[in-house]
Amino acid sequence: MKKVSLFVRAIGLALLAATGASAQYNPKASYEGPAKLNTWSVSVMGGPTQFFGDLREYDFYPVGKTNADSYSERNSAFVGVAVGKQLSHLFGLQLDGQYGNLVGMKRRLYFSYFRSNYIQTDLTGSVNLKSLLFGINKMKRWKIDAYTGIGVVFFKSTAYELGTGRVRRWTKTNNGDGILREAKYEKDWAIPIGLAVNYELSPRFDLGLDFRFTNVNTDRLDATIGGNSSSYFDGYGTRGQFDNPFERKGESNMDKMGYAALSVTYKLGKNAVKVQKVNGKYDYDTTRGTYHLRWTDPKNLIKPPVILTLEQIDSVAKANRPKDIDPKLLMDTDNDGVSDYFDRQPNTPAGSIVSGAGEAIDFDKYVSAALPGIACAEILTNVTFDTDKNIIKPQFYDMLNKVVELLNKTQCRLQLSGHADRRASDRYNIALSRRRVEAVKNYLVKQGLNDPNRIIIDYFGSFKPIGDNSRAGLTKNRRVELRLVP
């Protein structure tokens, strides 16, 4: 019985594994993964801006005072909004727009300062450096992204003389008719490069810092083309109006700008949750809600295989075991093959041949009266064997010969089921019961059975006893059951 127990345990383990796999996989997921994840987010941001170009006093540190020969470079800022789509845990896209202003000044050569308003929109792609470099389980609440992309910037700039504030240059002032006009918006390409650091505050909100440096495809962001003589002030203000729209660059490099921003991100999606620590480890439970792809690698949701102990397997097997069979269905007092529950004649003599209702029949008369080609009624009987034997006893020869005669006259089929008592291993008993069935079949064929294909054989070892472990019970169990069926 030990092997039977292990077999039942294995079935229970297979059922448990199949149930777990079906619970994890979701064919409607928005990406190829084991469970649905939220992927969209919206961010708002704002912070100080900095200009890097001709009208800037120092390369790094901005001037902070305004006086007769200076103008503060710190009075600039921006606000923006962005919509993000996470394509995978490591890669994402973001469409953003900003509105802000820039300020800069330079005493040497230009003796000017400028102010500019700008509108910029970008499409950027980001890489999750934290997970890529440190792994998904380190710094769990932190996210570090490097990003770049392409965008368009619209800017309107005016340059002034230091001290007096007189206008020197401005953008798009001349339409070719010689009439001076106020500054208007120009546009050009921009390439942003940045680094964003985010911290997961809650299932819905992230707080972050965003540092960006933008290369602009123009030298006119500060209303000044570097090194050009028209950059100098003249009394009429006619120089530096950039009547030639293709004049993008002077002797200096293209202009640049940057910002440092504080951002708040709202993660869209239903039933948002964030991972929790359980017993010192982060545990992902998709039954609690939906995680966000920004913070969750789909690999986190694949549970490692559980190696169950024998006790756990036993408990699974017991939980899935069918209800016990009513003992009345197993009792066969007269050993005729019909359960006492259905037996209309439960005390037939040993060796009797009975009908499907358990009533004894005169098998000789039944065979003699059978007409050729008709289907027979259900008839049951047993052939018993000695211990560890598969030799048919002579007392059963006459009955088996009648079975051959009946099968040859009618369309009956014969089902043979072999059994053994419990005094051996399961493997041995299975083989012994098979030898007993084959012995009965071979005898029938040898006695002239016309169509052996109408014989159906089964063998069960000691798994279907009809008696206990007493001497009489063991004798009952060493049997081959014969069932004549229509």
pLDDT of amino acid 233: 42
Band (375; pLDDT cuts 50, 70, 90): low
Instruction: Taking the CA atoms of 107, 112, 117 and 119 in sequence, report the sign of the dihedral they define.
Output: negative
68 vs 143 pLDDT, higher one: 143
Q: Residues of the chain with pLDDT > 70: what percent?
A: 78
What CATH number does the domain containing 394 carry?
3.30.1330.60
Residue 130 lies in a domain: yes
Band (99; pLDDT cuts 50, 70, 90): very high
- Tokens coding 133: 């470099």
pLDDT of amino acid 42: 98
Mean pLDDT of the chain: 81
pLDDT of amino acid 209: 97
Convert the pLDDT of each residue in 30-59 to its tens digit.
444 557 899 999 999 999 999 999 899 988
Between the CA of residue 32 and those of 27, 28, 299, what are the distances in Å? 8, 9, 11
Chain CA centroid to CA 180, Å: 64
Please tell me whether residues 101 and 189 are part of one structural domain: yes
| CA–CA gap between residue 152 and residue 218 (Å, rounded) | 12
Looking at residue 433, its amino acid is S
Residue 305 lies in a domain: no
Q: Which residues of 104-138 are buried (b: 16+ CB within 10 A; e: fewer)?
A: bbbeeebbbbbbbbbbbebebebebbbbeeeebee
pLDDT of amino acid 304: 74
Chain CA centroid to CA 332, Å: 54
Please tell me whether residues 226 and 371 are part of one structural domain: no
Look at residues 272, 297, 317 and tell me which one is the last residue of a structural domain. 272
CB count within 10 Å of CB 369 equals: 8
For residue 238, what is the enclosing H or E element? none
Residue 233 lies in a domain: yes
Between the CA of residue 365 and those of 376, 377, 454, what are the distances in Å? 13, 14, 23
Convert the pLDDT of each residue in 443-464 to its tens digit.
999 999 988 998 999 999 888 8
Whether residue 174 has pLDDT greater than 60: no
Band (319; pLDDT cuts 50, 70, 90): confident
pLDDT of amino acid 320: 78
Check if the beta carbon of residue 183 is closer than 8 Å to that of residue 158.
yes
Q: Closest Cα to residue 194, out of 321, 94, 64, 108?
A: 94
Q: Closest Cα to residue 263, out of 210, 200, 212, 214?
A: 210
| CA–CA gap between residue 289 and residue 426 (Å, rounded) | 49
- Tokens coding 78: 């921006």
Whether residue 175 has pLDDT greater than 70: no
Please tell me whether residues 77 and 226 are part of one structural domain: yes
pLDDT of amino acid 58: 87
Alpha helices in 259-409 (DSSP H): 310-320, 327-330, 363-369, 397-409
Please tell me whether residues 240 and 355 are part of one structural domain: no
Check if the beta carbon of residue 255 is closer than 8 Å to that of residue 220.
yes
Check if the beta carbon of residue 301 is closer than 8 Å to that of residue 289.
no
Residue 430 lies in a domain: yes
Least confident of 34-38, 46-50, 60-64, 289-293: 34-38
Looking at residue 231, its amino acid is S
Please tell me whether residues 474 and 397 are part of one structural domain: yes
Please tell me whether residues 335 and 247 are part of one structural domain: no
What residues have CB less than 8 Å from 463, skipping those under 6 apart?
Answer: 4, 426
Band (245; pLDDT cuts 50, 70, 90): very low
pLDDT of amino acid 225: 81
Least confident of 77-86, 166-175, 326-335, 366-375: 326-335
| CA–CA gap between residue 210 and residue 172 (Å, rounded) | 32
Looking at the DSSP bridge assignments, the partners of residue 98 are: 80, 120
pLDDT of amino acid 358: 63
Whether residue 408 has pLDDT greater than 70: yes
Q: Residues of the chain with pLDDT > 90: what percent?
A: 40
Residue 322 lies in a domain: no
Residue 321 lies in a domain: no
Please tell me whether residues 223 and 337 are part of one structural domain: no
pTM beyond 0.75:
no
Q: Which domain holds residue 172?
A: 35-272
pLDDT of amino acid 188: 92
Please tell me whether residues 441 and 336 are part of one structural domain: yes
Q: Is 289 helix (H, G, I), strand (E, B) or coil?
A: coil
Band (373; pLDDT cuts 50, 70, 90): low
Residue 43 lies in a domain: yes
Please tell me whether residues 357 and 240 are part of one structural domain: no
Question: Number of folded domains in the chain?
Answer: 2
Look at residues 254, 272, 290 and tell me which one is the last residue of a structural domain. 272
Q: Is 134 helix (H, G, I), strand (E, B) or coil?
A: helix
Please tell me whether residues 174 and 89 are part of one structural domain: yes
pLDDT of amino acid 325: 61
CB count within 10 Å of CB 146 equals: 14
Whether residue 239 has pLDDT greater than 80: no
Q: Closest Cα to residue 147, out of 128, 133, 130, 134?
A: 128
Band (357; pLDDT cuts 50, 70, 90): low
Looking at the DSSP bridge assignments, the partners of residue 156 are: 117
Q: What is the DSSP letter of 83?
A: E
Residue 277 lies in a domain: no
27 vs 52 pLDDT, higher one: 52
Least confident of 62-71, 196-205, 238-247, 414-423: 238-247
What CATH number does the domain containing 167 carry?
2.40.160.20
Looking at the DSSP bridge assignments, the partners of residue 112 are: 106, 161
Convert the pLDDT of each residue in 428-446 to its tens digit.
999 999 999 999 999 999 9
Look at residues 272, 296, 319 and tell me which one is the last residue of a structural domain. 272
DSSP string, 322-348: PPPPPHHHH--TT-SSS-TTT-SSTTP
The dihedral over CA atoms of 113, 118, 122, 127, expressed in degrees to the nearest 10, equals 40
pLDDT of amino acid 199: 97
Between the CA of residue 411 and those of 154, 406, 408, 446, 484, what are the distances in Å? 96, 9, 8, 19, 10
Q: Closest Cα to residue 484, out of 367, 389, 390, 385?
A: 367
Least confident of 75-84, 234-243, 357-366: 234-243
Please tell me whether residues 247 and 132 are part of one structural domain: yes
Please tell me whether residues 359 and 241 are part of one structural domain: no
Whether residue 473 has pLDDT greater than 90: no
- Tokens coding 231: 């950059």
